[in-house]
Structure formats: structure tokens, C-alpha cells
Structure 1
Amino acid sequence: MNDAGGRRPWLISVPRTVVLPYLSYPYRCRRGARRLVAPLASFALSSLTVGGLAHTSRAADLPAPDPQRIFAPLAYPDQPNQARSGGGVPGPAYFTNRADYDIKVAIDPTNKVLSGTETITYTNNSPDALAVLWLQLDQNIYRADARADFVNPERHAEHTDGDVIENVSIESDGKDVPLTPLISDTRMQLVLPQALAAKGGKVRVKIAWHYTVPGPWGGRTAVTPSKNGDIYEIAQFYPRMAVYDDLRGWDTAPYLGQEFYLDYGDIDYSVTVPWNFTVVGSGALLNPADVLTQVERDRLAQAEKSDQHVMIRTAADVTDPKSHLAQTGTKTWHYRMNNTRDVAFGASPAFLWDAAKIDLPPVVPAPGKPPVARLAMSIYPVEGAGPHQWDRSTDYVKHAIEFFSDRVYPYPWPNAVNLGGHGAGMEYPGIVFDGMTDKDPVLFWLTTHELGHGWFPMIVGSNERRHAFMDEGFNTFIDAQASQHFNHGEFAPKHDSEYASQTGHPSDDIVAVLTDPAAPNLMMPSDLVTERYRHPVTYFKAAYGLTLLREQVLGPERFDRAFRRYTAQWAYRHPTPSDFFRLMDSEAGEDLSWFWRGWYFNNWGPDYAVRGVSYVDNDPTHGAQITLVNKGWLPLRVSVAVTYTDGSTVTLNVPTETWLMRNETVLQVPGGKAVRQVVVDPDHLIPDIERSDNSFTVTAAKPADAPPAH
């Protein structure tokens, strides 16, 4: 994802040696320089100017571990109650409010203005009567006086007037009652003439607005030139209801560049554009006969039965006026998406369009409509066409949706669209925005990552404005698995000598974060994490923490079941970190307080050392004794490899519980052979802070000197 203004500060300010590792997984930063990509793996923090937030628990500066602190009970930030249970699942009093939208917008390509009207049907399921409503006006981030302009001025060299609200009213007794909105930065408050009743009260709000679409610098919502016409990537384009929840009431965190927190509902939207534009967006197209030729509709029908992509609009169609239903006037494209928190769309005369079926059951696109097959789609200009470029995009889309549906939670919507345009690397329900010139592994990785956000946070609606690791880290964790799976590992992670750390192990790369005194912890509010640390902490550390939990703490079987249950329990709801921690504790059958405290609330890491090797009764046949020391505050389970002088080996597994009351232990090794070497964590499965003392070589005793001859 690019920054809110579409500029790429990392592209010019970050040294080449700084890349984002995740199990050798290359990734482009989503809100900075979108071309910061490398096939793994060193994170050279030392080459950056120190910045960010100081943390008092830097792993390298801590005293000797204190087991009573490490394993003490942990009070999670949000306490259990009737809304959120001690088991990490929604309680009997849990609620989410609902926001249904009927939206009509039009694009004026001459002036690059989007104008619209909407009717919001808002349902208050909370136990509280609501005297006011709050809405989000994300386009106001582009105003010169926006708060975000002062927080990150480097991202906002260009400006628009933001959302121009023309009028607001509510329906009352069949009449429209005008309201005077109170606009504060990227928020709008509506004072209701009568409080909205609790537990099912409904209100219909009508809004008319317009705004100037930012140029390519807009990033997340932008208009970008291409060879055959402008490409409009339209997102965050309509006033959207803020969330009223059980934690804070109205959550009105301003839009400073961090992402979203939205309720769910059905969104019906229509887009009016010039006759030669193609519009593809979130959800299902409801009026294909009004906007598509018979040829295009036949091709879509063919795609619904094809595992290989079918061209809906070809390069020849783009330059042929007769490929459209009419050659004058405008067309209105009508889309609908059910049970979603948002929609976005692309519009352009330059789009090639292809599609293939997704192997999932059909869905009903709208009430009264017949079931339709699910389609993976790609739209892009001729600049993106080619066997190493967007010709393969739909294959990537199809794989991502099917893979995540199988491994995490079933995909709920009709279509999944990859748009090649400016290249914000940005996600919305059912559609993602990537770069028209992306190719080969980069296009695969970005497509998979952005579509993975369909699960986190589009289905599991965590609060990105406050806890970004719950979407970026969780998604990075699952999309790395998708890379391993696609086409027998065609784009699987690999170590690249130009970028890899000295050892080539990602467990060593995270040590730079754990030992950086300025690095924030994962629980730091999103807006307080500087750009320098957003990716190494919010993405990489969060994802790698889940990998440690899965591979080294719980094991895949327990972790996978608990993680899937978390996803299912919080689908279309709003979990907090506390909910996730509690559910994993409960479902996996472990008290993981020590792990959450060390990895999420602090930047602690494991650190082991071999102090020495001795023999029972000074005789190898009686067995060896290995003295192992814990110097770290995150005592992960660790393996110890013992190599005998004859070359044979044995591995000892040391569980976390070893360190409940001590920092030193003696491991007993069966007798019979002399030991040559002991190595802690030989496969670098854990992020040991200091590896220089992880091995110990036993020096063979020299024979006594022979007596002099007589």
C-alpha cells in the first residue's frame, strides 16, 4: 500500500541493504516506497537514522532473566465481560451495528470530479440510544489543513478541497429533514433531532457530495494516465459510517494515513461514466445487458466454466469504438456487494479485462437474482499485457482465493478483482489495486498479499487504525504459505545472497528489531509507529511471531485449529488483541502469557548458551552432563544437538517450562560415547539474540608424557 498521498519516501531515503524479510518472503512496502522489494532477507537497521519510539525492554540491554516476571499472570488490555468472553469469543451481549448503503456516483473526466448521492440505512444494535452519528470523510486527508498534513508533511505536497458536502438530511415520517453537519478533519458529526433507539433502531441518512479525484499522488484513490486513457482507481469515495462499539462508543480516530475501521452491511452502488469507459468493482454486476455487448457477455459466460482466463475485453477492443454498446453519451454500471464493510472500483477506457472461474460454490448476488459462479478477474491497460506481466494475474487471483478459502475461511463474495493501475498496492473487499508494470514474482506476491487482506481485515474486521499488526501481520503470515503452495513453489521464498543476512536465516534477521532500542512493540498504537518501523514490526515481527507460535510453541495441528476458530468466531465482527490472545490460550490449551508479554508487549527474545560439558564420574560411559544457560526473556522451546566423537548425533528438546524457576539447567545425555560438540538451535529455528555462545566443543585430553628412557 502506498502512503495516503501516493508518494514513495522510502524509495529515495532507504539504503539498498534494508529490505523486509519474512521467512525469505519478498514484499513491497504498502505505504512508502512501493518498489522496496527483495527476495529476502537482511534488515540492516544500523544503516538507518535512529528514529521511532524508545522502548525500555530492549532484549540486549535486559538484566538476567527473572522467571517471576516472565511467567507472571498477564492482564490483557480489555477485560472479559458480557460482550467479550474469557475464552476470546463474542459474548451474549456482543453487538455490531449495521450500515447499508445505496450509492449513486458519476465521474466527470474533463474536470476529474466525482459527484455522488447516497442513502445510508443505519441500524443501532447497541444497548445505547445514540444522540449523534459520526461518519468518515477520508477525502479530507488531501486538504491543506488536514491533521495528516502535519503528522506526515512529506506525503502531502499536493492537495484537493477534500469532500465537499452539499447537503445532509434524515428521513422522518416520510419527509427529509435537513441536518447541519459538523465537520472536524476527516470526521463528520450529525446531531439527530431525536435519539436513535437502542437494540434495533433504524435511521435513513441522505448525503450529497463531490470531490476532485487526486492525481497519481493520491495512491489509494487516484487518476493515472495510460497509453489509451486515464485510469480511475476509486476508493474511500463515499461518506462512511464510523463504528460504534462496546469498547469506546463512537470510534472516531482521525484518518492520518493508517487504514480503516468499518461496520458491515449490503452496499448497492451505481457508477455513471462516459460511453467508452469500462467499470469493474467490488461485488457483482447487476445490469450486464445495459453496459456490455453480447460478445462480452458471452465471454463472461465462457469464463464461468473455464479454469484458464478468458479475455472479456482485448487489446483490439480497447481501440475499437464498436466494442461498446453505444458510441455517445454515458453508461451506468450497477454493482452490489452483500455483507461487506466497503467497496471500491476502477474505471477507464483503457482496460483489458480477463476472467476465470473460482472453484467455490455459486453465490446469490442480490435478492431476487439467480446464483452466479465466482470469477477471478484482472483489469489492466496494454502497458501491463505480456506473458511475464498481467497475462498471469488471474491465475494468481484464482489461486489466492481458493487457497485462503481452504486454509483459513471460505471467501464470501462473487468476484475477486486485481486492477493494474497506479500501483498503490492497496486492498478493498473484492478488489485490489496493484501496478500496471508489475511482473513475475513481484506481481504474484503483491496480488496474493493484497487479496489476503480479504480475510484480514475485510472478513475479520479488526481495527486497523489502532492495531495494524492484526491485519498486516496476520495477512503476511498466511500469504507466505500461499507462495509456498502456488504451482509447486514457482515463486516460493528463496535466499538471495545480495540481500540475505550472513546466515541466511530469518530467525537471525529479526534480532535487529529485538535489539534496537528505538523499535516499538507490537501493541504500540498504529499512528505512533514511524515509517521506519512499520514494516519490520507491523508486518515482519507480527507474522514471524505467528510462525514461532505455530512451529515452535504449539505445533501446526493445535495452532491451525485455533487460528481457524478465531477467524470463524470473529468473521464480520471486531476483535481486539485481547480477544485473539484469549482465544488462542483457550483453544490451544496453553497459558501463553509469557509469549504475549515477550513478543507483543515487549521486544524480548530467546538467548541460550552452553556453559560446559562434563561426564558422570569423569567417565563417558556413564553419561554426559551439559550445562545450559538461559540469558533471554523469551524462553522458547529449543533443541540441543549433541555430536559424539564417532560422528553420531542425538537431539535433546528443552521445553519452555525448564525455565520456570531457574536460569541454568543440566541436561543428562545417555552414556557410552564421548562428546565432541554441543550446539543449541542448530537449525536456527528460534531468534537467538547472541549465537556466539550457542556451541561448545569438547577438547580431548592429551595423553600424559612418556617417562624418559634409561
Structure 2
Amino acid sequence: MHYFKNYLLFACGWLAVAFNASAQSPDTLKYNHSDLFGPVVWPVTSNGTRSAAGKPGPNYWQNRADYLIHATLDEGKQDTTIMGDVTITYTNNSPDNMNYLWLQLDQNLFRPDSRGAAVTPITGDRFDVKGFGRGGVKVESVTVTYKGQNYTVTPVITDARMQVRLNQPLGGKGDQIQVKVNYAFSIPFYGADRMGRKQFKQGMVYEIAQWYPRMCVYDDVEGWNTLPYMGLGEFYCEYGNYDYYITAPANMVVAGSGDLLNGSEVLTPTQQKRLDEARNSDKTVTIISDSEVGKPTTRPSKGSLTWHFKMENTRDVSWAASTAFIWDAAKVNLPSGRKCISQSVYPIESAGTHAWGRSTEYLKNSIEIYSKAYIEYPWNSAVNVSGVALGMEYPGIIFCLSGLKDGGLWGDVTHEIGHNWFPMIVGSNERKYMWQDEGFNTFINQYSTLMFNNGEYAPKGLNGKPALYSGTNAQQVLRSYIKSNDPLMTPSEAIGLNDYGQYYNKTALGLDMLRDVILGPERFDYAFHEYVNNWAMKHPLPYDFFRAMNDAAGEDLNWFFKPWFFTTWKLDQAIESVSYTGGPENGAIITIVNKEKMAMPVELKITQANGKTELLHLPVNVWQRNGVWKFKYPSTSVIKSIVIDPDHQLPDIDLKNNVYKAD
């Protein structure tokens, strides 16, 4: 999900202030080499489900949930309601028998007595879960089918979770059960910035998400994952096939995840022809124009229509509906030669060449960039919806705020569709490890922004090298990093509301440093691709990522992973002194110190009085024994200046001591 409107911060670096270094005693340093380079043992799973190399093990398993959903959008006098039924075919691939199943009822967040409402600060917050007192899921019936027997269950509902207790245990190793739930809920106006409804000139736009009871994940690490949905923490879902039907008033257009299977029933012949044209066009093709919105000729019938969608091997689906939609689309070219389609639906208030008129272009290019750089987009369609949500992602569909324009819209689109790689393809647990999707996605967004249209929206002066900080935002982000109280491994519902931006920026900055400072692009890119390919459509833990990077890069990086993800330790490298023995032409003794608890490799830009300038790289291993390092530099004249980290790639908290200048 989107952190703030312009989440993607780039860097030119911070201003360095010169000083004459004074002596430092090792006893005054916070740094302790044993804390950083001491043994680190990541948790292990049993029975060979995950390997020491950060891959799925020989006995890896994950369960599966296939969905058949029928839902109706009913515009009532007071509320607009979703009424429907979902039949879940659940496959238990684990070795365990199950006496009960757990399902998520995310709409219960909007009940006035929900846990999310209870923990909302008195001043309110971004998610505003107290703002819809009529929310919540009404579960009308639950029916179980197992081994040819049908029976009705009275579920046990606790906040946003529902337990279905079985009459007979579900067997393991591939046994299947069916659960059918009849349900209904009222659509909130502002659904925690993830869904909801918003009125425009030509009608209401409904963005519908978390709209059906769905299975909790049962995995090899924790069994049932039942952390409740409380607002900030997002989702952890099983993969499966989705076959779903949306019945809505016939004057509405419905856009959904996956493939529309009955276009001949819900679209006019003209619209079908235009869609076919779009599937073969790199330029955006209009399906419904602004002048056609609301006209009876744009809809094939009166009353209601049922839209039939299907999406395979996905962890969720979502959809939107409105009478106000302009609709356009274009072809997406994937590396394998396969084609898919990029689409946008938006009201006239969002139209324009500086606004949503380029949404499909932004979406198309982002998918092409990410598919080439990481792993190919696996589905046949993607759609961007303009509405109430600032920015939210689901497989094959994203919601972006209706008023965004130019670079703001580009940033939102490339971020939200980037989530289709993390966590929709690489299926991490968003609710428990938010950095593993938001931070990874922020990292890849830097590259899409540099690459799109020759860097149209990229900050100038970066020379093709992404970084997180830039201009006036630099010191603000650095101060946030310095003041953060919670490590990245803090679960989302426990992190400070002023700190959760670290999930995005601190994670992405860490990946930047791994790539550009510690490993180098070639080694990092290879290891990162190994991680992505090994865990596509699976459930990686943070420890799988750490192990994967160590193994494929051939480097023990635990000295970095431990402080960056598990602590709030800071970095402060400094130049302590420069001295000469027998004259500067015979070499200089340079002393550097590591004052804070983190450590990084050291890059020094050394300039001599004779005009010679040299970049010197010292590995992180210089800090393995203590926080003071002296070395002889083969100077041939007086050293005029030394700068630590001259390209400003590291978040050093005290820049005054990074520069030495001769008296």
C-alpha cells in the first residue's frame, strides 16, 4: 500500500561540513565488534520444508484455496450492500489433520466494536476505521461438505476471524474440504484507505476489496496465521483459482481482477471491437470515451447484468463498479512474447493528458519494466481504478487516488502495480513482516522511475543511479531514520504510527546499500533473482531472504541483516587523524573510527596537494576487531582533504566528521 503521496525519495546526498578531526579514544565509542560480528543463528523449520540456502526445501508444502463467488451490488436507500455466497475448496497439503478451519472476515474491521476501532487514537489516523458504524459482515450460513457429507456449522466469530469447527477432522497430504458461506455487508465510504465508495458527477465509484470470507494461511512455521486485520497490517493469503460473478445494475461498468469471460453479454459490439484493438495496440485505445459515459447506447441492456471473471493461481481478487467510468486500454509486451492488456477506468474528473489519460501508459510500462527485470507478470490483465483509495494493490487490479496528476500519478501507479511482484507473486506475510513487501516494492520503484520514458519523472543529476534521498526531503528522512524507535521486524500493528514509513524507506535504502556498496550490482542482482524465482507463488520468511542472499552472493551478510532489520542502531563513520612519518612524500597514517553500533564498508576520496585524487575502498572487515582502524596510505604530497562516502550512499548520522581538511 502507498505510504504517502510522494513516497519515492531520491538522493543527491547531504551537505558535508569540513572539520579538523580530533582524537577519539576507543573507550568513547558505542561500537562493539562482538555485537555486530558475533554468531547469528536464524530460526530453522523442521522436516526439510525450508533449506539452509534460503530455498523451499525438499519437503516444502503449502495449502491451497480455490474460490467460486457470486456477489450482487445492491444500491439501497441507506447503504449500498454486497450480498453473496462463496464456496471454498480447501486443499490441506500439510502433514497435519485439522479439527477446525480459520477464515478472515476483513469487513468486521468496520464494526464499531472492532479491535481496529478500539486501538484507533483519539485524534484519529489515516485508516479512520471508526468512520462507518454500520460496517461488518453478516454471516447468514456456513455449510461444510466433506467426504460426501453435508452439514451446517455455527461459526465462532472473533473480531475479523471466523473459526469453522469440523464434525470430522480434515486429513493431511492433499485431502480436500468445501466450505460455503452466505454473507452480506454494507460498503464503507472510506474503507481504511483500501476500498470504499466516492461520489463523482456521473455516479458513485465503488472500489470493492476484502469482500468475501477468505482462508487464513496455514503454514509450516506457525500453523494457522490468525493475526486480526486492524488497519495498518495488510494480508497473507493462500494461492488458488478464482471463478467469480458480479451482478450489478446494467448501467454500470465492472472492472475486475483476471479475465472477463462473458464480454459478449455485458459489452456492446463496439466496446468488444475496441477491446480487441487495444489488445494489439501499444498506444492507448479508448473503450468508453468521456462523451459516451452515461448514455444508454453504451450499455447492452437494462435492469442488471452479471459479469463473469476468472483468475488462476492468485492469492486474491478485487473489483470496481461505476456508471461514471471512462475506460481505455493498451497491449503489454512480456519477455516471453506473451501479451496481456493494461486498462484504466476513471471518472471525467480524473481525465486529461496530465492526469488519468496517461494511466494506461504508466501501467503498461511498469509491467513491462518489472517483467523484464525480475519475473514475468503471470496474468493476462491489469487495471487501474480511480476512486477514494490513495493507493492500494490487489492481484491484477490497483486503486489510485482520483486527483493525482503527472509524476504523482506515475509514482502511485508504478508503486501499486509493483506490489503485484511483492507480495502477489512473492507471497510474503504482509501483516507480520510489512517491510518484506512495502520495502522491496519501494526498492524496485526506483528503477522503474529511472527507466520510464527516459527518466521523465526521475530527479535530475542521479546519473542513472537510484538512491532514496533528495533535495529538501533529505534531512527530513534522515531525521526520521535517526528518531525511529522500532526495528523493521516489528509487526505492523505494534510499530509507532510515526515510524511505519521505515518499512518503505529504510528497507529500500538497505537494499540500495547491499547492491551499490556491499555486493555490487552483478552479485546482488543474481542473488535477488534467485530469491524471487525460488519463492514465486510461495510463502517466504525474512530468514529465507537472508539465507538466499548469503548463499547466492557468497557472502556472510548477517552483520548487516542483524542491525538493519532487528535493531535501530545507527551509523557514524569518522576521520580521526592524518599524520606523517618522515614527510608526506613517504606516506601518511590515516586513522578512521566507527563511533556508532552499525558498521559498513568505507569509501574514502583522498585528494593530495599535488592534485592527485583517488578513491580507496576498505571492506567492512576492518571493523571486525574494534572501532578504530589505522592504515598507511602511499601519499606523495600533503593530503589536502579526505571525504568518507563521497557519493553519499550511506545514512551517516553525523556528516560533520566525514570530512578532513588540512590546516
Residue 538 (structure 2) aligns with? 573
| Partner of residue 549 from structure 1, selected from 503, 514, 528 | 514
Deviation at 1:215, TM superposition (A): 1.4
Deviation (angstroms), 1:80: 6.7
Q: Is the 8 A contact 1:216 1:223 kept in 2?
A: yes
Gaps spanning 5+ residues in structure 1: where?
A: 4-9, 12-18, 26-39, 43-60, 364-371, 700-710
Q: How does 1:92-131 map to 2 (within 5 A)?
A: 92-110=58-76, 111-131=79-99
What is aligned with 1:253? 227
Q: Quick one: structure 1 residues 92 and 217, their matched pair in 2 at CA, closer, same or farther if it must change by over 3 Å?
A: closer
CA distance in 1, matches of 2:335, 2:546: 33
The alignment status of 1:530 with 2:496, answered yes or no, reads yes
Paired position in structure 2 for 1:55:
none
Say whether the 8 Å CA contact 1:507–1:688 is kept in structure 2: no
Secondary structure of 2:291's match? helix
Distance 1:89 1:381, change over 3 A: same
Deviation at 1:226, TM superposition (A): 0.8
Q: Trace 1:11-30 onto structure 2 (pairs within 5 A).
A: 22-24=9-11
- Show CA shifts across 1:246-293 (max 9, x none): 111111111111100100000000000111111111000001111111
Say whether the 8 Å CA contact 1:147–1:256 is kept in structure 2.
yes
**Does the 8 A contact of 1:505 with 1:684 survive in 2?**
no
Cα deviation digits, residues 457-487 of structure 1 (max 9, x gap): 1111111111000000000000111111100
CA distance in 1, matches of 2:8, 2:348: 32
Counterpart in the other structure of 2:591 = 627
Of the structure 1 ranges 317-326 and 474-483, higher mean CA displacement relative to structure 2 is found in 317-326
Change (3 A) 1:649 1:373: closer
Count of residue pairs brought into register by the alignment? 639
The Cα of 1:660 is off from its aligned counterpart by 1.1
Is the contact made by 2:580 and 2:589 (CA closer than 8 Å) also made in structure 1? yes
Corresponding residue for 1:200?
174
Quote the Cα distance in structure 2 between the aligned partners of 1:395 and 1:119: 37
Change (3 A) 1:593 1:80: farther
Q: Deviation per CA, 1:142-194: give whole Å up to 9, x if none.
A: 00110111111522133224110111101245453111111110001101111
- Give the 3 Å change call, closer, same or farther, for CA 221–551 of structure 1 in structure 2: same
Secondary structure at the aligned position of 1:394 is classed as helix
- CA distance in 2 between counterparts of 1:354 and 1:76 reads 48
Deviation readout 1:470-510 (Å, 9 max, x if unpaired): 000000000111111100000013599xxx99994988665
Which one-letter code corresponds to 1:557 in the other structure?
Answer: E
One-letter code of the match for 1:286?
L
Answering whether residue 479 of structure 2 is matched by residue 512 of structure 1, we say yes
- Which of the residues 563, 574, 589 maps onto 1:598? 563
Cα distance in structure 2, aligned partners of 1:77 and 1:673: 53
- Residue matched to 2:269: 294
- The 8 Å contact of residues 468 and 538 in structure 1, kept in 2 or not, is answered as yes
Q: Equivalent residue for 1:653?
A: 617
Gap change, CA 1:125 and 1:494, over 3 Å in 2: same
Residue 288 of structure 2 is aligned to residue 320 of structure 1: no
Is 1:171–1:177's contact at 8 Å kept on the other side of the alignment?
yes
Paired residue type of 1:284: D
Residue 277, structure 1, aligned to residue 252, structure 2: yes
How far the C-alpha of 1:373 sits from its partner, in A, is 4.0
Aligned-partner Cα distance in 2 for 1:189–1:597: 37
**Are residue 395 (structure 1) and residue 369 (structure 2) matched?**
no
Whether 2:145 is the aligned partner of 1:167: answer no
Q: Using the alignment, how far apart are the partners of 1:501 and 1:542 within structure 2?
A: 10
Residue from 119, 126, 138 that aligns with 1:151:
119
| Cα separation, 2, equivalents of 1:450 and 1:663 | 42
Paired residue secondary structure (1:148): helix
Q: Between 471-480 and 676-685, report the one with greater CA deviation.
A: 676-685
What CA deviation, in whole Å up to 9, does each residue of 1:421-475 have, x standing for no partner? Answer: 1133110000000112211100000000000000111111111111000000000
Which of 50, 75, 100 is the equivalent residue of 1:132? 100
1:241 matched to which residue of 2?
Answer: 215
Aligned partner of 1:220 among 194, 203, 212: 194
The 1:672/1:596 distance shift into structure 2, 3 A limit, reads same
- Whether the 8 Å contact between 1:419 and 1:431 is mirrored in structure 2 is yes
> Unpaired runs of 5+ in structure 2?
16-26
The residue number in structure 2 matching 1:352 is: 326
Q: Tell me, yes or no, if the aligned pair for 1:89 and 1:583 is still in contact at 8 Å.
A: yes
Within 5 Å, give how 1:373-388 maps onto structure 2: 373-388=339-354
Shift of 1:22: 3.1
Deviation at 1:616, TM superposition (A): 2.7
Deviation at 1:541, TM superposition (A): 0.5
CA contact (8 A) 2:203 2:322 kept: yes
Counterpart residue number, 2:371:
405
CA change 1:426–1:612 in 2 (3 A) is same
Distance in 2, matches of 1:90 and 1:548, equals 26
Percent same amino acid at aligned positions?
Answer: 43
1:601 shift after superposition: 1.1
Partner of 2:661: 697
Letter in 2 for 1:445: G
Alignment of 1:381-530 (within 5 A): 381-493=347-459, 504=471, 511-516=478-483, 519-530=485-496
The structure-2 alpha-carbon separation of the partners of 1:697 and 1:545, relative to structure 1 and needing over 3 Å to count, comes to same
Cα distance between partner residues in 2 of 1:213 and 1:472: 26
C-alpha distance in 1 between matches for 2:630 and 2:470: 29
- 1:299-341, Cα deviation, whole Å (9 max, x unpaired): 0110011000100111122131011111x21110000000000
Alpha-carbon distance in structure 2 between the residues aligned to 1:2 and 1:542 = 15
1:503, 1:142 → 2: CA distance?
Answer: 38
- Verify the 8 A CA contact 2:142 2:152 in the aligned structure 1: yes
Matches of 1:444 and 1:392, distance apart in 2:
9
What do residues 579-610 of structure 1 show as CA deviations (whole Å, max 9, x unaligned)?
11111111111111110112111122332222
Structure 1 window deviating more from structure 2 (158-167 vs 559-568): it is: 158-167
CA distance in 2: counterparts of 1:2 and 1:21, whole angstroms? 10
Residues 220-247 of structure 1 deviation map (CA, whole Å, 9 limit, x = unaligned): 2212111111111000000000011111
1:545 CA drift (Å): 0.7
Higher mean alpha-carbon deviation, 687-696 vs 475-484, is at: 687-696
Distance in 1, matches of 2:189 and 2:7, equals: 28
Q: Which amino acid aligns with 1:272?
A: T
Contact 1:507/1:684 (<8 A) preserved:
no
Please state how far the C-alpha of 1:2 moved relative to its aligned partner: 7.4
Distance 1:694 1:394 in 2: 46
**2:56 paired residue number:** 90
TM-score (norm 1): 0.86
**Equivalent residues of 1:2, 1:219 under 8 A apart:** no
